[in-house]
Structure 1
Amino acid sequence: MDTTIEIMELAAFVAVVQRGTFTAAADAMDTDKAHVSRIISRLENKLGAQLLQRSTRRLSVTETGRDFYERAAGILTALEESEASVARTQREPTGSLRLSAGAEFGVLRVNRWIATYLKTYPDVRVDAEFTNRVTDVIHEGIDIAIRIGALPDAELSVRKLGDIHYAFYASPSYLKGRKQPKAPADLKSHDLVMFAPRGRPSWKVVKGRQTELIETEPRYTVNNSLAAHDMAIAGMGVTLLPTFMTADALAGGKLKLLLPGWERIPVPVHAVFTSSRYMAPKLRAFIDLAIREFKAES
């Protein structure tokens, strides 16, 4: 015999005690009196104790029943509060969002998205890690990782945010007295500041259907694009940088765009997370915001 007490049995007993009769409890539960009576009898059999004293004229609660009522009412209240709490978290972004992104892209772009996110959703906290190591989303408990380039994690859910575009730049001080390049081949006569994280330094660039491979030995090679950006501003040569990194320097006259139309093949940016099923509002809200912000900044 199954002795597991069901929530419906607790609810029926609490309804009878609170309303004083089986009839009133049945009305509140949208059922009939006989059904409520059977539920209470089944509950008493499971407990092996009498909870209610019945007579033709009145219904009263036994001492055991009164004690059980207090506990049952507390359980139902806690359950209702838990359901309400879950419902709130499924409607509005709340809680803590753990995020990871590349160091440079994180500082220059994702940080702005987070600021907007925190202002928009006051009940959310963000724990961000900007690092160039590939974080383990599942084992590190990360809600969302912003990944640039190839995606090796086939088991994870993915949303594309957009593409990073690249262009050639140099400072006015570097270009002063020099012939500006008109084609990629002209870069052979220029000092180059090259971001090259690994392998032989080179740039493969495209313009429509044209493709050029630039393998000229650079004057300065570095594995950090922010460093290449600063060296270009300092007048050390021509560099190829992501366009999101150069807006302020262009506006301030510190850098000048070269070889318009020539660029590195755009690099995709994705939001990576564990699952799109039952996605928490805090995660959904950040992904939607990131897509909007990426589009607005491109």
Structure 2
Amino acid sequence: METSIDLADMRAYAAVVTDGSFTAAAERLGIDKARMSRIVRRVEEKLGAQLLVRSTRHVHVTEVGRDYFERVVAILAAVDAAGAAVARQSGEPKGLLKITAGAEFGNLLVDEWTAEFLRQAPKVRVEAEYTNRLVDIVHEGIDVAIRVGALQDSGLSARRLGEVTYGLYASPDYLTSRPALSGLGDLKAHDLVMHAPRGRPGWTLVNGAATERVAQSPRCAVDNSIAARNLALAGLGIALLPRFLAGSAVAQGALRAVLPGWTRSPAPVHAVFASSRYMDPKVRGFVDLCVSRFEQVGA
């Protein structure tokens, strides 16, 4: 004898007993009265027992039907409680959030975002690794990676935060002591500070449809943009910097933009994570915050 009964059928039977009639139960559940009767009859057939005695105006519950009703009510309450618990957990960020980002971007921006997120989500803990190696987030158990530059086709999910834009900058003291700059060719008479990853200095600059390669040897070649900014602040030459990195120094008058219009191609920024389906609340919440805060960076 088959005794497996759908939860929907259990709810229908419980509604009939609670409301005392097929008509009232059908109206409350929004189904046809005849269908409600068929559901209860199906339940009785599966159980091999009469649960209800039907009359013209009333429905009477048998002793077996009353016992079954009480058990069904307990089952439905447990199911509803389980669903509510999952809903609460799926709505509240909690647990350990593991983040990775490039060293510079992490220290300059992701730290601020992380601090704000932790204030908003007191049940979340964070482990952050800022490194310039490409982290395998699946095998290393990382929840979110903030990546600057073109993404590889990895099968991971990603959400675009925006893009990093660049400009040429120098200190006012440096500019007052050197020849005026009116075109890109004038850079030959200037000292350059270059962010030169892996020891390969040089800039590829664009201005609208024009593209030029600046290959002269720099006075200073460094392996990160923070060092390039610091040397430009010290008056040692012209540096190509992310605008978000130079912005505060420009606002304070410590750096000036030069050769406006000439820049390098923007670099897209993405939050990368394992899956966009059934996202953990802490992952979704952190990514949402990153999107909103990057819009304020003015990158």
Written as runs of structure 1 = structure 2, the 5 A alignment for 1:51-70 is 52=51, 54=53, 59-62=60-63, 65-70=65-70
Cα shift at 1:87: 7.0
Change (3 A) 1:51 1:136: farther
1:290 and 1:58 mapped to 2: Cα distance?
59
Change (3 A) 1:34 1:185: closer
Written as runs of structure 1 = structure 2, the 5 A alignment for 1:75-114 is 75-81=75-81, 94-95=92-93, 99-112=99-112
What percentage of aligned pairs have identical amino acids? 48
Cα shift at 1:217: 2.5
Which residue in the other structure is 2:233 paired with?
A: 233
The one-letter code of the counterpart of 1:52 is: L
Change (3 A) 1:67 1:102: farther
Question: Is residue 162 of structure 2 the alignment partner of residue 162 of structure 1?
Answer: yes
Deviations 1:95-134 (A, max 9, x none): 2576543332233334555667678x76995847344333
Change (3 A) 1:58 1:270: closer
1:46 and 1:231 mapped to 2: Cα distance?
82
Answer yes or no: is the 8 Å Cα contact 2:199–2:221 preserved in 1. Answer: no
Written as runs of structure 1 = structure 2, the 5 A alignment for 1:125-274 is 127=126, 129=128, 130-139=130-139, 144-175=144-175, 177-274=177-274
1:104 and 1:261 mapped to 2: Cα distance?
25
The one-letter code of the counterpart of 1:233 is: L
Corresponding residue SS for 1:263: coil
The one-letter code of the counterpart of 2:72 is: A
Corresponding residue SS for 2:11: helix
Answer yes or no: is the 8 Å Cα contact 2:52–2:65 preserved in 1. Answer: no
Which residue in the other structure is 2:7 paired with?
A: 7
Corresponding residue SS for 2:198: coil
Answer yes or no: is the 8 Å Cα contact 1:23–1:33 preserved in 2. Answer: yes
Answer yes or no: is the 8 Å Cα contact 1:89–1:280 preserved in 2. Answer: no
2:293 and 2:223 mapped to 1: Cα distance?
27
Cα shift at 1:152: 0.6
Answer yes or no: is the 8 Å Cα contact 1:206–1:263 preserved in 2. Answer: yes
The one-letter code of the counterpart of 1:10 is: M
1:292 and 1:285 mapped to 2: Cα distance?
11
The TM-score normalised by the length of structure 1 is 0.74
2:106 and 2:267 mapped to 1: Cα distance?
15
Structure 2 gap segments, 5+ residues each: none
The one-letter code of the counterpart of 2:39 is: I
Corresponding residue SS for 2:257: strand
1:280 and 1:61 mapped to 2: Cα distance?
47
Deviations 1:71-109 (A, max 9, x none): 42233234445556777889xx64257654333223333
Cα shift at 1:243: 0.8
Answer yes or no: is the 8 Å Cα contact 1:163–1:266 preserved in 2. Answer: yes
Which residue in the other structure is 1:28 paired with?
A: 28
Cα shift at 1:248: 0.9
Structure 1 gap segments, 5+ residues each: none
